[in-house]
């Protein structure tokens, strides 16, 4: 195999076929290339593809990895490349009957799981004021990620009243899932671990099967994932993990950085290889990022470097308010787009909290700049799509009571809550599924309701009986028709109703695409599993012509030519919670991740005041510059000021109306981005020695300048305010 395209460290990693290997792969260092090339190299050396297991964290990354491996060695089709959850789902389909699960078990998503928790609270007569349903669901998820069963819950998490109630909810939640032949996302991992623990012969089978294990993003593994990998690798020790301790940012959802920090202890004789050459950013950005992350103590240590030595230093902008900060971002984006060097999809604005997007959205809208918020509602989370999926899940798993309760009520069939309540209670008492209970409904319900439920069950069973004679698309189309979903949607002629019809049509197109891609393996079971395992990161890049707004956590794994990180102040980044707990290292890693997303230009912005909620409402308070900005080495960042701006729209509000009533006044918004008014002075006119005046700082002289065009910065010594750095294109400077 030709390895000439790899650098020395990458080649060293690829050529380590046996034993434990830890590849510390810095941001943008080509880790995917190392993983795929190593897999191909093993196959070329005679290792059977089915003896290799490659695990990553997103479906998109898994698909890309498999495609690249097959491009290198065409006979690699049988290699297992998947996410942790997809791997476990596939394994449990084959072995789950040992744990009492039928092969067609349902996979409940976060919304389904929350619905079950609410049912548990109601059945246990626990008031929602005592336990928040979402909080209880998160607590159960944390317990599962920690490998804690309902019986162990109180022992591990204490004896407080809230813990005791949560333990009861957890136990009931597990009973209900098992009764419905269903698992949630966390179960896919936990049940696999249980399978390995309770059935050594199953573990031994897969240890023989997977003689070479590769894990991507190892720093993001949680306790259960770590134990699964360690069990699979303990027979042969051929475990090859790639990760970056400096990019471990998911501790809040169970990721344990000690998994990568302690790898050498867990696997004696480990070969550690550092990938430090960055192929994404220029050295100026890396110098700043290295300076920040160097302050963390819990790290193995590395220094990113780039062959691209020249490039614009990161620019820091201090505004007086978050509105002014957002105004700068909007104007800078507009300027970059006008220059023509970057398209909208080249630009990303990152922030610590979702709530920070509101003011940014307002300013972008004012300038007519199209944007997309990454992490919004997924296509598969839309109501009409969830309705179709409920029917489809019932076809493969008639015991899925949660899906039954959704499907039987959409469209409406005249079955009221009281009748469904009686049906549910009877099914619980007899310990049978709601679908089976439909056959016995006449014993507890009036004839009309019982006949309707029987017809519902007959309809689904009739479709299921002929599934083998139809294509997957034909089956799904039949469900949409016979269920009455299409007819119900067509009765709504509003714009929203038409959009819902189009969404269902798009869903049918996704079925067709899946069927075409999968060939003979296009079963309904496989289609539902694929959809259940889709993550929102897989949708990145599908928004054309729009800049991307997202949280720093969402930006992990992505890259953009131009990156803005806003809100770089104490209390936001680092976040207030980390400051109260006295541990800011994960926040520093989060900042480092954001900085290393940038390929060519990086803007770091903050405001010296921000609005916070107080007892009397909202109040503007002073904000402090983030410590992370102070940790950037001197000379590695360019600070600058910002111009004051008038709003780009005019609002007319009658004095007698409430300012919060949108219906009370007229707001004139521009139809498109307004052309920028011609500045009184061009950037080229600002040169060293020129005397200038500023409305706030008074008279001063330019000492020197740096950059060109809208990026040009002048260092001005003012008579009364001292030295200031500012963008000449934005600062209100007049030349005398």
Give me the phi and psi of 622, to 5 degrees please.
Answer: -70, 140
**Beta-strand pair 698-706/182-184:** unpaired
Report the C-alpha gap between 406 and 320 in whole angstroms.
50
Active-site residue (options: 58, 83, 207, 247): 247
Residue 247 annotated as catalytic: yes
Cis peptide bond prior to 574, omega within 30° of 0: yes
Asked if 329 contacts 564 with a C-beta cutoff of 8 angstroms, the reply is yes
Per-residue DSSP letters for 204-273?
A: HHHHHH-SEEEESSGGG--HHHHHHHHHHHTTT--EEEEE-GGG---GGGT--THHHHTHHHHSTTPEEE
Active-site residue (options: 95, 174, 186, 217): 217
Nearest CA among 160, 173, 105, 104 for reference residue 133? 173
Asked if 111 contacts 377 with a C-beta cutoff of 8 angstroms, the reply is no
Question: Six-digit token pair at 594?
Answer: 């954001």
Per-residue DSSP letters for 36-97?
A: HHHHHHHHHTT--GGGEEEEES-HHHHHHHHHHHHHH-TT-TT-EEEEHHHHHHHHHHHHGG
What is the chain's percent helix, strand, coil content, to nearest 5? 50, 15, 35
**Beta-strand pair 609-614/617-622:** antiparallel
Residue 219 annotated as catalytic: no
Residue 597 annotated as catalytic: yes
Active-site residue (options: 32, 115, 409, 701): 32
Active-site residue (options: 174, 187, 216, 245): 216
User: Residue 201's CB: how many other CB atoms inside 10 A?
Assistant: 7
Active-site residue (options: 172, 352, 406, 597): 597
Question: Six-digit token pair at 396?
Answer: 């493969």
Question: Six-digit token pair at 431?
Answer: 């310990």
CA angle 430, 432, 433 (to 5 degrees): 140
Residue 112 annotated as catalytic: no
With left for phi above 0 and alpha for psi between -120 and 50, is residue 400 left, alpha or beta? beta
Residue 217 annotated as catalytic: yes
Residue 31 annotated as catalytic: yes
Active-site residue (options: 31, 406, 610, 724): 31
What spatial distance separates the first Cα and last Cα of the chain, rounded to whole Å? 68
Catalytic residues: 31-32, 216-217, 247, 597
């Amino acid at each position: 195999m030709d390895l000439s395209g790899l650098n020395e460290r990458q080649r060293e990693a690829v050529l380590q076929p046996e034993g434990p290997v830890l590849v510390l792969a810095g941001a943008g260092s080509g880790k995917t290339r190392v993983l795929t090339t190593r897999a191909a190299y093993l196959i070329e050396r005679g290792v059977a593809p089915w003896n290799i297991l490659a695990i990553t964290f997103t479906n998109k990354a898994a698909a890309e990895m498999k495609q690249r491996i097959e491009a290198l060695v065409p006979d690699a089709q049988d290699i297992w490349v998947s996410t942790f959850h997809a791997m476990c789902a596939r394994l449990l389909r084959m072995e789950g009957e040992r744990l009492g699960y039928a092969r067609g078990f349902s996979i409940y998503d976060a919304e389904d799981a929350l619905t079950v928790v609410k049912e548990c609270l109601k059945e246990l007569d626990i008031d929602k004021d005592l336990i928040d349903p979402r909080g209880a669901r998160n607590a159960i998820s944390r317990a599962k990620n920690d490998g804690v069963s309902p019986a162990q819950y109180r022992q591990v998490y204490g004896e407080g009243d809230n813990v005791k109630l949560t333990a009861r909810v957890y136990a009931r939640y597990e009973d209900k899932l098992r009764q419905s032949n269903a698992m949630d996302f966390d179960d896919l991992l936990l049940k696999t671990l249980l399978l390995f623990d309770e059935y050594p012969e199953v573990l031994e089978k897969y240890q023989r099967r997977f003689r070479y294990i590769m894990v991507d993003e190892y720093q993001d593994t949680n306790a259960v994932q770590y134990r699964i990998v360690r069990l699979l690798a303990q027979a042969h020790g051929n475990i090859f993990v790639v990760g970056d301790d400096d990019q471990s940012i998911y501790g809040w959802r169970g990721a344990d950085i000690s998994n990568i920090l302690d790898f050498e202890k867990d696997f004696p004789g480990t070969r550690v290889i550092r990938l430090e050459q960055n192929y994404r950013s220029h050295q100026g950005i890396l110098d700043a990022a290295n300076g920040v992350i160097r302050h963390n103590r819990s790290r193995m240590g590395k220094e990113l470097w780039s062959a691209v030595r020249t490039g614009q230093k990161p620019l820091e902008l201090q505004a007086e308010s978050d509105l002014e900060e957002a105004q700068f971002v909007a104007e800078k984006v507009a300027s970059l787009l006008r220059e023509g060097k970057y398209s909208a999809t080249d630009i990303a604005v990152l922030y610590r909290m979702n709530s920070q997007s509101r003011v940014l959205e307002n300013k972008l809208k004012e300038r007519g700049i199209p944007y997309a918020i990454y992490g919004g509602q997924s296509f598969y989370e839309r109501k009409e799509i969830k309705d179709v999926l409920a029917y489809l899940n019932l076809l493969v798993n008639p015991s899925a009571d949660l899906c039954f309760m959704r499907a039987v009520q959409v469209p409406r069939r005249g079955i009221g809550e009281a009748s469904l309540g009686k049906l549910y209670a009877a099914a619980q008492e007899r310990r049978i599924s709601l679908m089976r209970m439909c056959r016995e409904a006449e014993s507890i319900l009036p004839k009309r309701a019982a006949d309707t439920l029987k017809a519902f069950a007959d309809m689904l069973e009739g479709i299921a009986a002929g599934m083998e004679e139809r294509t997957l698309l034909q089956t799904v189309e039949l469900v949409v028709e016979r269920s009455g979903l299409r007819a119900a949607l067509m009765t709504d002629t509003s714009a929203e109703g038409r959009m819902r019809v189009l969404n269902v049509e798009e869903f049918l197109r996704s079925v067709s695409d899946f069927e075409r891609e999968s060939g003979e393996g296009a079963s309904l079971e496989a289609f539902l599993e694929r959809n259940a395992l889709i993550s929102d990161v897989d949708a990145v890049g599908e928004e054309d012509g729009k800049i991307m707004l997202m949280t720093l956590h969402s930006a992990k794994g992505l890259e953009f030519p131009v990156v803005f990180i806003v809100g770089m102040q104490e209390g936001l980044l680092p976040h207030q919670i980390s400051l109260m707990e006295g541990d800011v290292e994960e926040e520093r890693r989060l900042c480092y991740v954001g900085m290393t997303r940038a390929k060519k230009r990086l803007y770091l912005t903050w405001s010296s005041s921000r609005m916070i909620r107080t007892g009397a409402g909202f109040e503007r308070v002073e904000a402090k510059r983030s410590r992370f900005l102070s940790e950037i080495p001197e000379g590695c960042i360019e600070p600058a000021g910002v111009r004051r701006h008038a709003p780009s729209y005019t609002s007319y509000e009658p004095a007698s109306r409430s300012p919060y009533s949108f219906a009370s006044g007229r707001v004139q918004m521009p139809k498109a981005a307004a052309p920028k008014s011609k500045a009184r002075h061009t950037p080229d006119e600002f040169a060293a020695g020129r005397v200038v005046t500023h409305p706030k700082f008074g008279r001063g002289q330019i000492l020197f300048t740096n950059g060109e065009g809208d990026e040009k910065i002048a260092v001005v010594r003012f008579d009364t305010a001292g030295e200031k750095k500012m963008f000449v294109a934005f600062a209100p400077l007049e030349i005398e």
